[in-house]
Chains A and B, each alone.
Chain A
Amino acid sequence: MRKALFLGLLAIGLVGISPAQQKKHTTKKEAGVRPEEVRQVILSGFEQDPRFLWKLEQDESQRICSQYPSREAMPAQAIQKVIELENKHITYPQWGIFWGDWKEGKKLAESPRGGRYASYGFSDKPTDKGGNCYACHLIEKGVPGGTMGPQLTGYGKRYGITKENMNTPEGLEKLKTVYKIVYNSWHAFPCSAMPRFGYHGALSPEDVINIATYLLHPESPVNK
């Protein structure tokens, strides 16, 4: 039952993030614009600060996702390919999957600052960290949040995590499931709007476990 509910939530995530849209993304073939031309225009549009040019290197999954206007328009083969690639891109904390600190997770979930540096102003530093989760998700009751992603209020409660079962193998398995999604959402939802925080190193495995703990822990305000 609980599993069914959770899978339901996953499904909402999958469908909800990019809506049904059957038209094919055909610009590549029709326009006669070569990928190198597009690449060149992209490169022309940024300051040539060698510290950040790595950000413009596209990886294989990004390349696949860029070919389709939405996930619904992706052929099964492409979906499979991304899932395959991204399942290899998950790393776990050194000590394995155990509950972290939800207070640290809360800070990271709230902070919009991570990786948001621009040379022209604002105080964000290249080293700032944060997941900006509230931009897309409603998480704690009464705190303003977005609706791009599924609602996460009472997430742990809905997923059946209790004080009693949280340290059972079953409870830790649930923690691991959420860890994997936050670490690399594309392993489950290829080309989702949700960044692959852990894979890119925007968040460390410890950060990710703290965020998963914030979402699931019975004492976290998310589940009050």
Chain B
Amino acid sequence: MRKILLTSAVFGLACAGFLGYQTVKAQDQELSPEEEIRLVQEFNRMMAEGINPGELWAEMGKEAFKKYNLDKCDFGLGPGKIEGALAQLPRYFPDAKRVMDLETRIGWCLQKYAGMTPEQVKKFATQCWGKSQCMGEYDAIVMYVSMASNGQKINVNLKDPQVKRMYEIGKQIYYTRLGPWDFNCATCHAGQREARIRATKLWSIDRPGEAGQAVSIFPKYLVRWSQPMTMHYRYAECMRQMRWPTFEPHSDLAVALSAFLYGTANGTEIKVPGIGR
């Protein structure tokens, strides 16, 4: 509890500017929004140099992977084989009779091989949500498994009718206006014009390659919370910002979005972990 309190104070520091206390020099105002977008991207490139702190989680994940018997888990390439696993997910799993993405599959295996109940899995998967500097075993496992696909190209099998069906459902959800703030995913992540939310450039499903750049780096280390964010946590946070109800990880909604996003990102090289604000 105290830890959160303290780190929060640090974020407070970072956010002082937003509240308008910041003195902005005359020269700063001359920067056009376009120029600022470019400079913020430059900042992100600089952050990506060196060792990504997210890699610390992979070390922990290697141990947790064994601890929870996930070496028995088949990610589609045979029990325990994780090299390239992320690149070919989501896929259909006959044993579960369901299309699953990486995190959904991990959740299923935690039930089957680690004896967790669905409630325990959910608690395990969301233990670091809404926190900072949280070192959760779930995030660590996802990081470890994801990094084993580094260098491989995303290759979701859209010829499989089950996967294709989830892709199409995901696509429709992407454009579904819903909730008390009328958002859909496309509100922020579509269109040709470069726009930003505050200082953050928004990727667009309509600009070639950007969906790939966005998803191929998950889990991504977030400097504002000093911890990685998995794809399902990303979905949850987007939906919270969209003012939709609280997102359920490992749900068909997550799988449908993953099928659409990773399917759209086919051909992009996986580079995990990414790093961002």
Q: A47-B248, A66-B177, A195-B181 are in contact. List 12 more A-B contacts (CB 8 A).
A: A21-B192, A41-B256, A42-B178, A44-B251, A45-B251, A49-B245, A65-B177, A69-B175, A70-B190, A142-B24, A144-B18, A145-B198
- List 28 contacting pairs A-B, 8 Å CB cutoff, sorted by A: A27-B168, A27-B175, A31-B168, A33-B168, A41-B169, A44-B252, A44-B253, A47-B247, A49-B246, A52-B246, A55-B180, A56-B179, A56-B245, A58-B178, A66-B177, A66-B178, A69-B190, A110-B19, A120-B126, A120-B130, A121-B129, A136-B197, A142-B22, A142-B24, A144-B198, A146-B198, A193-B187, A200-B180
Interface residue from A19, A44, A116 paired with B248 (Cβ < 8 Å)? A44
Taking CB atoms and an 8 Å cut-off, the chain B residues in 20-45 that contact chain A are 20, 22, 24, 28-29, 33, 37
* Bound Cα distance A66, B178 (Å): 9
Pair A142/B188 contact, Cβ less than 8 Å: no
Residues of chain A within 8 A of B20, CB atoms compared: 110, 140, 143
- Most chain B CB within 10 A, of A16, A25, A31, A40, is at A31
CB-based contact B169/A115 at 8 Å? no
Which of A42, A62, A119, A201 makes the CB contact (< 8 A) with B182? A62
Report Cα–Cα, A201/B198, bound state, in Å: 25
B171 at the interface (CB under 8 A from A): yes
Asked whether A144 lies within 8 Å of B199 as measured between CB atoms, the reply is: yes
Among B130, B172, B173, B192, the most chain A Cβ lie within 10 Å of the Cβ of B172
* A67, B186: Cα distance in complex, Å: 12
B183 cross-chain contacts in A, Cβ below 8 A:
193, 195
Q: For this complex, into which size category does the number of interface residues on chain B fall?
A: 35 or more
B66 proximal to A (CB < 8 A): no
> Which one of A33, A40, A115 lies within 8 Å of B181 (CB-CB)?
A115
A164 in the interface, Cβ–Cβ < 8 Å?
A: no
Q: Name A119's closest neighbour in chain B (CB-CB).
A: B246
Q: Is B112 an interface residue (CB 8 A)?
A: no
Q: B173 contacts A115, CB within 8 Å?
A: no
Task: Check if A53 is an interface residue, CB within 8 A of chain B.
Answer: yes
B169 touches A38 (CB 8 A): yes
Do A33 and B190 touch across chains, with their CB atoms under 8 A apart? no
Residues of B within 8 A of A20 (CB): 192
Name, among B17, B19, B29, B248, the residue most crowded by chain A CB atoms within 10 Å (CB to CB). Answer: B248
Which residues of B in the span 73-124 have a Cβ within 8 Å of any Cβ on A?
A: none
Contact A45 B243 (CB under 8 A): no
**Cβ-defined contact, B182 with A195, below 8 A:** yes
In the bound complex, how far is the Cα of B169 from the Cα of A32, in angstroms? 10
Q: Given A69-B175, A120-B126, A201-B180 in contact, is the A147-B245 Cβ separation under 8 Å?
A: no
Interface centre among A20, A42, A135, A186 (most CB of B within 10 A): A42
Residues of the B chain whose Cβ atoms lie less than 8 Å from the Cβ of A31: 165, 168, 171-172
Cβ proximity bits B7-23 to A, threshold 8 Å, 1 near / 0 not: 00000000001111010
Give the complex CA separation of A14 and B32 in angstroms: 21
Contact status of A45 and B248, CB under 8 A, knowing A142-B22, A195-B183: yes
Question: Does A202 count as interface, using CB distance less than 8 angstroms?
Answer: yes
Interface string of A48-88 (1 = CB under 8 A from B): 01001101101000110111111000000000000000000
Main secondary structure of the interface of A (DSSP, over half): loop
- B-chain residues with CB within 8 Å of residue A41 when the two chains form the complex: 169, 173, 252-253, 256
- The answer, yes or no, to whether B224 is at the interface (CB within 8 Å) is no
Instruction: Answer whether residue B162 sits at the interface, using C-beta atoms and an 8 A cutoff.
Output: no
A118 lies within 8 A of chain B by Cβ: yes
A141 part of interface (Cβ distance < 8 Å): yes
- Min Cβ gap A111→B in Å is 10
Q: How far is the CA of A196 from the CA of B181 in the complex (A)?
A: 7
Q: How many Å from the CB of A222 to the closest CB on chain B?
A: 12
Q: Write the nearest CB–CB distance from A131 to chain B, whole angstroms.
A: 10
Determine which of B18, B177, B180, B236 lies in contact with A191 in the assembled complex, contact meaning CB atoms within 8 Å: B177
Question: Is the C-beta of B254 less than 8 angstroms from some C-beta in chain A?
Answer: yes
> B133 to chain A: closest CB distance in Å?
13
Structural contact, A120 and B236, CB atoms closer than 8 A: yes
Task: Assess the B168–A118 pair: CB atoms within 8 A.
Answer: no
Indicate the member of A18, A32, A67, A141 with the most B CB atoms within 10 Å.
A18
A110 surroundings in chain B (CB, below 8 A): 18-20
Q: Is B240 an interface residue (CB 8 A)?
A: yes
The answer to the question of B241 belonging to the interface, with a C-beta cut-off of 8 Å to chain A, is yes
From B19, B180, B256, give the contact of A115 (CB < 8 A): B180
A68: chain B residues at CB < 8 Å are: 175
Q: Is the CB of A147 within 8 A of B195?
A: yes
